[in-house]
Amino acid sequence: MNKAAKTERELLDALDRLVSGSPTCTDGALTQENLAKEAGVSRATLNRYPDVVEEFRRSKHGVPGDDAAAIPVTLQDKNRTLHEEVSLLKRQAALDKKEFDRILGAARDEIYVLSEALKERDKTIKAKDKTIAELNRRISEAAALPNGRLNAVK
């Protein structure tokens, strides 16, 4: 095995240790600096292996097009992930509240319009009830006239 292949293998092994959460000489944070340290090479040497750097990015950020994001390795990564989730939930809650307030306002407006329509309906019914009562009174008076004839009552 030549030196380049050996270095690449060491870098990939170091990446596996960082991703699995079992680093041997770093704090376990998934950074390029820790990857180089874990493999026992310089940062410049790491940059000479673009395939390893790409694999590192995939491990850290998830494979493009893959729904599963990289699993947080350290407490800092987990904390950052949780803070991002909380921020996302807060933004969604704010949007939901705006939508709720919009719907609530529309419902209040509709209730007001319907209440006013009911008041108008009640006024109309009351006026019609008065008219019906007056007509019934006239019919009763007319029925009480002599000879059973209905005369025009003023």
Residue whose C-alpha is closest to residue 10's, from 71, 52, 72: 52
Domain boundaries, the chain: 3-73, 76-148
User: Is the CA virtual torsion 119, 123, 124, 126 positive or negative?
Assistant: positive
Token pair in block for residue 21:
């959460």
Where is average pLDDT lowest: 51-60, 91-100, 114-123?
51-60
Contacts of 123-128 spanning 24+ positions with Cβ under 8 A: none
Q: Residue 69: is its pLDDT beyond 80? A: no
> Could you tell me if 43 and 36 are in contact, meaning their C-beta atoms sit under 8 angstroms apart?
yes
Q: What are phi and psi of 79, to 5 degrees?
A: -60, -45
Residue 21's pLDDT is what?
87
Report field, pTM of the whole predicted structure over 0.85: no
Q: Residue 89: is its pLDDT beyond 80? A: yes
> Could you tell me if 7 and 49 are in contact, meaning their C-beta atoms sit under 8 angstroms apart?
yes
pLDDT in tens, 13-43: 999 998 888 999 999 888 999 999 999 999 9
Helix (H, G, I), strand (E, B) or coil at 23: coil
Q: Which residue has the higher pLDDT, 145 or 90?
A: 90
Q: Return the number of other C-beta atoms located less than 10 Å from residue 41's C-beta.
A: 17
